[in-house]
Amino acid sequence: MSALLAALTAGLAFPAGAVAGEPTGEDAPKVNLVLDVSGSMRARDIDGGSRMAAAKQAFNEVLDATPEEVELGIRTLGADYAGDDRRTGCKDTAQLYPVGPLDRTEAKTAVATLTPTGWTPIGPALLAAADDLDGGSGSKRIVLISDGEDTCAPLDPCEVAREIAAKGIGLTIDTLGLVPNAKMRQQLSCIAEATGGTYTSVEHTDELTDRVNQLVDRAADPVVTPVATVGADTCAKAPVLKSGLYTDREEFGQQRWYRVDVLPGQELRASVSVAADRAVAPSYGVLLRAVTVHGREIVRGEAADNGRTDVISTGLRYPKAEREDADAGKPAAETVCLQVAHSFSAASGVKTTPGLPLELTVDVVDGPDQADDVASFGLGRGWWLLGVLVLAGFLGGLVWGWLSRWRVAVWRTN
C-alpha cells in the first residue's frame, strides 16, 4: 500500500496558488547525516555483521547515490571518548565531514576511519547538527541513525527537537533506529514528530541504505510544507481544504472530517497516512472515504495490516463529470466530504492522547478528457473489445466442439 501512496502522490500537481507546497528557496538543499558511533554499535546482530559495518556499507552506497545538487555533511556522536566521565562523554560529537558540496572519496575515507567508542549524546549532537546547517533558504534535513536511547539526560533530545522546531528555520529531523527496543523507538519517534520528520525501524543493511537514500533524495525535491489543520467530527463542521499537504491528529476510535469543493470536469485526488508513533495493538487499518454532503458514499480507499509497521496509508480518486448544461451559467462546485478513520488501538499502559499523527494530501486538478473517460457502465470504449473477445470465444468454442466430435467419431471408426 505504500507503493500505492507513492504512485498517487507522485502524480499530484500543486498549483501556484496552493495553500501548501511552496519551495523554501533557490539555495542548495542541505542534509546532515548524524551517526551514532557509541560502543553498542559493536553488536553483531545485523545480517551477521556489526551495526557499525552495516552503517558504513549503507553510507558508502548513499554517498555514491547522493544527487549533485545536495550539500551533504556527516556528524558523529560517541566516536572519540571511551572513558567513564559522563561530562566529557556527553560532549563527544564532531563534524566528520562538513556540510557542503560532496567529495565522495573524501567522505568515504572519513567514514572508514570510524570505530565504535563511547557514549550516546543525541541531544548535544542534534543541537550541533542544526548549527552545521545554518544559513541559506534551501531545505534542511538531519538524518539521525542510532542504536540506543540518549545517555546524557537531563538534556532530553525530544525537547531539543522541539526547541529546533520552535526556531522556525524549516529543519526536519528524520530518525532511524537500528534493532530498536521500545524505549529507543519512543524517543526517536518523538524527535522526528517534533519537526515533522519520520521514524523508521531498521534491522537489515539494505533497509538502512534504502531509507537513507530516500531521505537524501527527498531533500533534493521541492519542499512541501505541511499545513496544520483540525478536522471536525461531522462534515457540516469540517474545514474547507484546497490543494495541499495537511497534518492533523486523530484519537483512537475517532473520525475526522474535511471538505473539498470540486467543480464539474475536475478530479479530486486524496491520500492519507497515519503514523503509529507509540506502541499499538496488532491488527489495524485506515479508511479514507469521499461522500456527498447527504452521506452517500462516492468512493473509498482502505488499507489494513496485522504486523509491525510505522505508517499505514491509502488513497482515492474522484473524477466529477462535466455538466451537459455548462452554457446555462457558471457551474456550481460540489462539496465533497472526506472522512478519515483508523482502527488502531493503544497497547496496555500507553497514553491515548494526543491522537496519532496523520498526513492528508489533497489535490484538485482538471479531469481527464471526456473522449478518453470511461462510460457510465465502467467500460467506455472497451465495449468493442469486449464484443470481439466474446465473439472470438464463441467461435473458438464452436471449432473446438466440432474438432472434439470429429476425433471421437474417428476413434470409434477405428
- The string of pLDDT tens digits covering residues 372-405 is 443 333 444 455 566 666 777 777 777 776 776 6
The model scores a pTM over 0.75? no
Exposure of 384 by Cβ count < 10 A (0-12 exposed, 13-18 middle, 19+ buried)?
exposed
- Longest alpha-carbon distance in the chain: 102
Dihedral (CA of 236, 237, 240, 246) sign = negative
pLDDT of 182 reads 85
Phi and psi (nearest 5°) for 413?
A: -65, -40
pLDDT of 8 reads 36
So where are the chain's domains?
Answer: 23-220, 227-366
Instruction: Say if residues 288 and 300 touch (Cβ distance below 8 Å).
Output: yes
Q: What type of residue sits at position 336?
A: V
123: CB partners within 8 A, 6+ apart: 150, 152, 155, 156, 157, 159, 160
pLDDT of 18 reads 35
Q: What span, in angstroms and rounded, lies between the C-alpha atoms of 115 and 55?
A: 11
Task: Write out pLDDT tens, residues 177-193.
Answer: 998 888 888 899 889 88
151: CB partners within 8 A, 6+ apart: 38, 89, 90, 119, 120, 121
How would you list the strands of the sheet with 71-77, edge to edge? 93-100, 71-77, 30-36, 140-146, 171-178, 199-202
* 23-220 and 227-366 have identical folds: no
Report the chain's mean pLDDT, rounded to a whole number.
82
**Which residues in the chain show pLDDT less than 50?**
1-25, 370-381
Q: What count of other Cβ atoms lies within 10 Å of the Cβ of residue 168?
A: 7
How would you list the strands of the sheet with 266-275, edge to edge? 227-228, 244-250, 356-366, 266-275, 311-319
27 has which bridge partners?
none
pLDDT of 221 reads 75
What CATH architecture is 227-366?
Sandwich (2.60)
CATH number of 23-220: 3.40.50.410
Tell me the residue ranges of DSSP E strands in 101-168. 140-146
